[in-house]
């Protein structure tokens, strides 16, 4: 394809829109260096332990949040909930009100909108990470955004990463990987029943994604959220070990510790994951030959 055609195609993709829950221009926990993070609304999973549950649902314009908003930032117009950022104080009352874990503050953005935002922070960025929710639910947008970045003159040096639960199928990955530098993949649990109970879905596709991404050289990091009595069990750690050794002992592993912040519902009653248990699991992985195991840098009191 000639350069001009590539640019033309990229511009056509510019008309695509995404439902954006939040944007950060400073993140040190979503990949290497400082990341511009685009949190996309909507998720394929319904994780009990989700610490961003307000990113799960898509707004159905029921209007419940309009009634509880203390600053008058929300209104119903033509049957749709409309958010006005000017009076909004970011108190998040609407998030607590929403019966379906959606977010009325979500913005609709085009690829061009996102590029403009990236450009304002460009000098400070190592790369961009799309997260969620489950970012791959808006795969066409992600592909278009990454393609636009990779064909731009001024932003092509930024690395493009996806934070995903791996529920995406092989065809989906095939469409986005050519523009993607790496994927940060969460596997929520290895025991199939446990995974279904914790997320509402089977883990077959997630584990298949780990293999596919590793084979493509795009698996930047494999993550396990450790929950006491669930995913901190030796059986889970050993299953993780087997998968990693099968993929490559060089695979980067990150163990995260379940905490209560942001969590809703029954998971609030669960015990928090303590440091000792995470360190023990990390040692178990290392002893089995896994080369790169990261644990949380900071432990909340």
Partner 1 sequence: MSEEMTAVRKIVRDQTLSFKQKEHALAVQAENMLPYPLLDAETRAALDARIICDMYEGHAPYKPRYVLPDYAVVLSKGSAYLELPVPTTLDEAINTLMIAYHHVPSVTGMPVFIGHLDALLLPFCDGVSDDELYRKIKLFWRYLDRVLPDAFMHANIGPTDNRVARTILKVDAELKQIAPNLTFLYDPEVSGEDILRLCTDNIIACSKPHIANHPVHAATFDARGYAIVSCYNALPLCGGASTLTRINLKKVAEASADEADFLNVQLPRYVALNARLTRARVDYLHKQSGFFQSSFLVEEGWIERERFTAMFGIFAMAEAVNHLQAMAGKAGRYGHDSEANALGARISALLADLVAREPMDNVWRGAAMLHSQAGISSDAGVTPGVRIPYGEEPDPVSHVRALLPHHQHYASGVSEILTLDETVRGNPEAVFQLAKGALAMGFREFTANVAGNDLVRVTGFMIRLSDVKLYNEAKGSRTNTTSLGAEAAEVVGILGRKPRVVGLELAVGAVG
What residues line the site for partner 1 (CB under 8 A)?
A: 24-26, 28-29, 32-34, 120-121, 123-126, 294, 296-298
Q: Are 262 and 52 in contact (CB under 8 A)?
A: yes
User: Nearest distance from residue 177's CB to partner 1, in Å?
Assistant: 23
User: Nearest distance from residue 23's CB to partner 1, in Å?
Assistant: 11
User: Nearest distance from residue 125's CB to partner 1, in Å?
Assistant: 7
Specify the residue, 216 or 295, whose C-beta has the smaller distance to partner 1: 295
Specify the residue, 112 or 121, whose C-beta has the smaller distance to partner 1: 121
User: Nearest distance from residue 256's CB to partner 1, in Å?
Assistant: 12
User: Nearest distance from residue 120's CB to partner 1, in Å?
Assistant: 7
**Angstrom distances, CA of residue 291 to CA of 248, 250, 288:** 9, 5, 9
**Angstrom distances, CA of residue 189 to CA of 29, 159, 166, 247, 269:** 21, 28, 12, 17, 19
User: Nearest distance from residue 31's CB to partner 1, in Å?
Assistant: 9
> 234-247 and 204-215 helices cross at what angle (nearest 10)?
30
Specify the residue, 36 or 45, whose C-beta has the smaller distance to partner 1: 36
User: Nearest distance from residue 170's CB to partner 1, in Å?
Assistant: 31
Specify the residue, 7 or 260, whose C-beta has the smaller distance to partner 1: 260
Specify the residue, 28 or 215, whose C-beta has the smaller distance to partner 1: 28
Specify the residue, 33 or 178, whose C-beta has the smaller distance to partner 1: 33
Specify the residue, 68 or 120, whose C-beta has the smaller distance to partner 1: 120
């Amino acid at each position: 394809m000639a350069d001009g055609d590539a640019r033309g195609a990229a511009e056509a993709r510019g008309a695509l829109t995404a439902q954006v829950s939040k944007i950060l221009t400073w993140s040190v926990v979503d990949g290497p260096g400082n990341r511009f993070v685009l949190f996309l609304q909507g998720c394929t999973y319904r994780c009990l332990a989700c610490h961003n549950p307000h990113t799960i649902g898509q707004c159905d314009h029921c209007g419940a949040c309009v009634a509880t908003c203390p600053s008058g930032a929300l209104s119903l117009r033509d049957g749709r909930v409309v958010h006005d950022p000017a009076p909004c104080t970011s108190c998040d009352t609407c998030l607590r009100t929403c019966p379906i874990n959606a977010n009325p503050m979500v913005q609709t953005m085009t690829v061009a909108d996102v590029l403009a935002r990236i450009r304002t922070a460009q000098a400070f960025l190592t790369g961009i990470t799309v997260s969620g929710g489950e970012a791959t639910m808006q795969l066409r947008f992600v592909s278009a955004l990454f393609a636009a970045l990779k064909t731009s003159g001024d932003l092509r040096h930024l690395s493009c990463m996806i934070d995903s639960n791996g529920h995406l199928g092989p065809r989906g990955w095939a469409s986005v990987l050519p523009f993607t530098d790496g994927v940060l993949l969460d596997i929520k649990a290895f025991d199939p029943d446990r995974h279904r109970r914790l997320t509402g879905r089977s883990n077959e596709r997630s584990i298949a994604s780990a293999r596919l991404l590793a084979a493509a050289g795009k698996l930047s990091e494999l993550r396990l959220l450790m929950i006491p009595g669930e995913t901190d069990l030796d059986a889970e750690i050993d299953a993780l070990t087997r998968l990693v050794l099968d993929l490559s002992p060089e695979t980067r592993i990150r163990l995260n510790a379940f905490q209560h912040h942001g969590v809703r519902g029954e998971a609030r009653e669960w015990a928090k994951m303590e440091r000792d248990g995470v360190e023990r699991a990390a040692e178990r992985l290392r002893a089995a030959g896994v080369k790169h195991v990261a644990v949380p840098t900071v432990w909340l009191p």
